[in-house]
Structure 1
Amino acid sequence: MQQLNWHERISHLLEAYKENHSSDPHRLQFHLMPAVGLLNDPNGLIQYKGTYHVFFQWNPFGTVHGPKCWGHYTSQDLVYWQNHQPSLVPSEWYEKDGCYSGSAVEVDGDMVLFYSGNVKHEDGTRETYQCMAVSHNGFDFEKKGPVVLLPEGYTAHFRDPKVWKRDGVWYMVVGAQTFYQEGAVVLFASVDLKEWELKGILAGSHLNGLTDFGYMWECPDFFELDDQDVLLVSPQGLEEKESFYQNEFQSGYFVGKWQVGTTEFPHGEFHELDRGFDFYAPQTFQDKAGRRIMLGWMGITDEQESFQPTIERGWVHALTIPRELELKNSRIIQKPVQELKQMREAGGFKCQTSLENETKTWHELSGIVSELVIRFQQNHAETIEIEIRKNLSIIYDKQINRLTLKRKRFEDGKIESRSCFLDKLEDLHIYLDTSAIEIFVNGGQEVFTARFFAEDNEKEIIFTVNGHVDIDLEKWNLRLQKRL
């Protein structure tokens, strides 16, 4: 399919779905989502010439995982975003079945993208190529073709290059699967971004004390944070264990100290980045202020994916809000970027109250697009439940120190849950957006991300307490003054 044909077809689709969007109650107000079709991994995150660029995996022609291009949003402030035509579409032999995930760097004033070219054959086999494209303006790219071929010892599940520079040398990590069906992150090095030297496996499912830790590792990201080195990765094939690994696929991180230029990366245990239902394939970048900022795919490929009601409207999935990362005691802390406060409407609602063996709500808390901060001062309650729009419940059981998020399943409305254990519950910082929720727990020590699909007229937030608790509430309605 030629590039012009892609752009023409997308233009026709956008025009056809324009009126459909205005009547869709589940269209998000401040999260990035596709105008039509299926969105997945965030790609190429970068602040380039003062502008934030977010690319993403996009199949505009259906709500299934077909051939992907790179959709493209830009922003000056991480709040107001402008949509652009896709920057990479399949047009060459080495990417004919998709321009898969990758990353962006700035080189001598140019933006350079690295991505996986995907080729599928009728017999079910595939080929993979790590490719490069260059732009002088961040919008129009010249493809340079493959720069890394599949090394020996790996299956064609070899993709998602993340590139960075350290001590004058360029490095690339690629998500991989070995011939032994083991997940791995493979390291390359280069001085010119064109010729790449294979260094070997940086981390994998049978290294550093890991055992059978996934059959494929996707979407690696490697960076320095507070004088330590962090490897983000999305392993597939982890078995559920207690409150861990409850989703079909996981995303998390290892913290260690890299011997720069080698494959020596002794690291600690794996920690999940998000404990909710819908989070995968995160990517980070460092902005000009020195912040490490992350976005993730607010979705996942599982048995529930095809039952999301937005599919009837011709689209599915979204990205998370931008989150700033910090490292404390070798654990990542996630916080919404400060710029999001611009969305708060004037006034807001504040309340200090005590609840004891009662159910209570405030009409000021009602709404479908809001930010809510709840601080628990004196908590002697056995259980605290916060019901949101009769579709979600956040439940804290103090006797076992467990926090649980429950929602109605997309397929049949049955209740499903995700949970984690806390030493204590101190606060919840909640972003609510029509059909999405992001919950930052105890200052971002844990995070729950989920999609949900409540009725448009269900807007209440209801507290039920068994025992006694003192709480401080703050709530703002959120509004964007500009359209996405």
Structure 2
Amino acid sequence: MTQVQADPRTAAHLRPAFHVRPPRGYLNDPNGPIEVDDDVHLYFQSRPTLDMHVPVEWGHATSTDYVRWTLHRPAMAPLPGGPDTDGCWSGNTVLDGGRIRAYYSGRIDESPYQSVLTAVSDDGGRSFGPARQVVPDPADDAIMFRDPFVWQENGSWWLAVGAGYADRGASITLYRSSDLRDWTYVGPLAELPRGVAGGEDTGAAWECPQLLTIDNRRIAVVASWSPESGPAEVLSFDVDVPVTPQRVDHGTNFYAASAMRDSRFGPLLFGWLTEGRDRDGWDDWAGVISLPRVVWLGADSSLRSAPVPTVDTLRTGPGVPADGCTTGPQCEIAVPEGSGQVIIRFSDHERVVIELDADTLTIDRTEASLSPYAHRDRMQVSDAFDPGSGRPAARIFLDGSVLEVFTSAGRVLSTRVYPTTPPIWRVEAPHNAHFWTLDR
């Protein structure tokens, strides 16, 4: 029997179910995840339509377990004639006397820079009041200045801003405060002239700087950016030693990471999963937030990741042998150890292949879609496996068009796949692999 091929722009099977996404419109950077009592608040840049001329708002979702999210009305919207009249862009949140205080970038189209603003929520994070500027705009040699990140350390509040300077390269600019209101310039927390590190463009500027403390080390997470090519990759490095950036996610579609310094699971990272398909292939929505990731440092000081433990509660029953299973758009496949291939076969002509070989994991999506809009390539990471970790060699999460693969050594690869053939799909896997259907 011939399966019907769905229009890849409207296919329901491509819509993620347990990743945060808008029912319609555009989503990009996650912002300001924060725990308040039993609730987790996550904000994100969003537009109610796919029209990129519409100013960015702060969308809002809450959860009690980090995997089942409830969407709410936008918590912040641009004020016509105000300091964010053309968009409420990226930033983070902190608790200020029991209230949630946001720091973010206010966009005004005719200004070359986004001003650093603050606003307070008096209703438990559902909405924020009027904004005011707290940091002066930069000097003329800045090519970019945006995306504040605020945290408390050693009795002081610190504010980092992503920046780039014509004569100094990418930079994290640092300010200090005792009361979250008045800020004093400290200087650059870290800087790096543009170059290549580990095969990655280190960027002319750094967007979305995030600061984590792991093993008593201050670890920065930045998004490398350049004026001619825009976003590149998310990188991490220790700010207290010579800057040596390393890639955070080894897939094709992870950008603009947002950190929680403290959570019930320890330090966490969220990211924006970009579309992985041409603009003409979009329907009425675009953009997804990654699974929240517990993070730690590897022996090489790179940032390693695993999904939050509560993702296990999405499983609908006990694991079964994966080889030969049929699946819908939401599933998990785990390979405990060893080598081999996991193939999710969407049809006779569409498949995605995850290969474990020696110390390397590869995702091949060159045949994942017949859609003319879908991107097709291979991605690979070495030093992928740690048999002594107690984690599966590979955990594969499929959620509609989202594919996230975590390895036992803490490597992660995030990408997007767009099969035109609707389920039922078939899994081919090593004999020891396990399979679960997932349902939120």
TM over 0.5: yes
Q: Is the 8 A contact 1:208 1:266 kept in 2?
A: no
Matched to 1:440, the amino acid is F
Q: Does 1:159 align with 2:116?
A: no
Q: 2:237 aligns with which of 236, 241, 254?
A: 254
CA-to-partner distance for each residue in 1:135-161, whole Å, 9 max, x for gaps?
Answer: 122113212311112122543621110
- TM-score, normalised via structure 2 length: 0.86
Displacement of 1:344 in angstroms is 0.8
Three-state SS of the structure 2 residue aligned to 1:251 is: strand
Q: Tell me which residue corresponds to 2:225.
A: 236
Q: Do the aligned partners of residues 419 and 223 (structure 1) sit closer, same or farther apart at CA in structure 2, a change above 3 Å counting?
A: same
Alignment partner of 2:336: what SS? Answer: strand
Correspondence 1:162-177 to 2 at 5 A = 162-177=149-164
Residues 327, 423 of structure 2: 8 Å contact kept: no
Q: 1:78 aligns with which of 52, 66, 75?
A: 66
Root mean square deviation of aligned Cα: 3.0
The answer to whether 1:448 aligns with 2:418 is: no
Q: Indicate if the aligned counterparts of 1:394 and 1:403 stay in contact, CA closer than 8 A.
A: yes
Question: Aligned AA for 2:383?
Answer: L
Pick from 203, 206, 214 the counterpart of residue 190 of structure 2.
203
- For the pair 1:434 / 2:400, whether they are aligned, the reply is yes
Contact 2:252/2:415 (8 A) holds in 1: yes
2:315 partner letter = R
Counterpart pick for 1:347 among 298, 312, 318: 318
* Structure 1 position 97, deviation (Å): 0.9
After the TM superposition, which residues 233-382 of structure 1 pair with which residues of structure 2 at under 5 Å, given as runs? 233-237=222-226, 249-256=232-239, 265-267=240-242, 269-289=244-264, 291-299=266-274, 304-307=277-280, 309=281, 311-312=282-283, 314-329=284-299, 330-350=301-321, 361-362=323-324, 364-377=325-338, 379=339
Go from structure 1 to structure 2 and tell me whether the alpha carbon gap of 1:65 and 1:323 turns closer, same or farther (over 3 Å shift).
farther
1:249 aligned counterpart, secondary structure: strand
Aligned counterparts of 1:134 and 1:393: Cα–Cα separation in 2: 47
Q: Deviations over 1:14-69 (max 9, x none)?
A: xxxxxxx9972222110000121110000011002331000000011325374200
**C-alpha separation between the residues in 2 aligned to 1:374 and 1:95?**
48
Cα distance in 2, alignment partners of residues 83 and 158 from structure 1: 30
* Post-superposition offset of 1:471: 4.8
Q: Which residue in 1 is equivalent to 2:16? A: 28
8 A Cα contact 1:181 1:216, kept in partner = no
* Separation (CA, whole Å) in 2 of partners of 1:220 and 1:453: 31
Matched, 1:40 2:28: yes
Alignment gaps of 5+ in structure 1: 1-20, 241-246, 257-264, 352-360, 464-469
Residue 467 of structure 1 corresponds to none
Q: Tell me: CA distance 1:338–1:403, structure 2 relative to 1, closer, same or farther (3 Å).
A: closer
Does 2:206 match 1:217? Answer: yes
CA contact (8 A) 1:182 1:212 kept: no
Counterpart among 178, 185, 190 of residue 191 in structure 1: 178
Counterpart pick for 2:363 among 363, 380, 405: 405
Secondary structure, in 3 states, of the residue corresponding to 2:30?
Answer: strand
User: Do 2:42 and 2:60's aligned partners in 1 also have CA atoms closer than 8 Å?
Assistant: yes
Contact (CA 8 Å) 1:54, 1:74: kept in 2 or not?
yes
Deviations 1:416-451 (A, max 9, x none): 12222237686111111111110001242x111011
Q: Does 1:474 align with 2:434?
A: yes
Matches within 5 A, 1:377-396: 377=338, 379=339, 384=341, 386-389=343-346, 390-396=350-356
Tell me which moved more, 209-218 or 110-119.
209-218
For 1:234 and 1:228, the matched residues in 2 are separated by 20
Q: Amino acid of the residue matched to residue 416 of structure 2? A: R
Q: State the distance in 2 between where 1:183 and 1:402 align.
A: 31
* Largest Rg, 1 or 2: 1
Find the partner of 1:133 among 115, 119, 136: 119
CA contact (8 A) 1:155 1:178 kept: yes
2:203–2:232: 8 Å Cα contact kept in structure 1?
Answer: no
Q: Check conservation: 1:376, 1:425, Cα contact below 8 A.
A: no
- What is aligned with 1:4? none
- What's 2:378 paired with? 417
Could you tell me whether the CA contact under 8 Å between 1:213 and 1:238 is conserved in 2? no
Alpha-carbon distance change, 76 to 384 in structure 1, aligned in 2, over 3 angstroms: closer
The letter for the 2-side match of 1:306 is: R
Contact 2:326 2:424 (8 Å CA) reproduced: no
Match of residue 462 from structure 1: 428
Aligned-partner SS, 1:339: helix
Residues 423, 37 of structure 1: CA spacing in aligned structure 2 closer, same or farther, 3 A cutoff?
Answer: closer
Conserved in 2, the CA contact under 8 Å of 1:350 and 1:473?
yes
Pick which of 431-440 and 407-416 moved more. 407-416
Letter in 1 for 2:400: T
Closer/same/farther in 2, CA of residues 140 and 368 from structure 1, 3 Å limit:
closer
Aligned 8 A contact 1:238 1:250 in 2: no
Structure 2 CA distance for partners of 1:423 and 1:443, relative to 1, 3 Å: closer
Structure with more of its chain in helix, by fraction: 1
Q: Distance in 1 between matches of 2:317 and 2:357?
A: 35
> How far apart, in 2, do the equivalents of 1:120 and 1:238 lie?
16
- Do 2:208 and 2:222's aligned partners in 1 also have CA atoms closer than 8 Å? yes
- Tell me the matched-pair count: 415
Percent identity over the alignment is 27
Is the Cα–Cα contact under 8 Å of residues 265 and 294 in structure 2 kept in the other structure? no
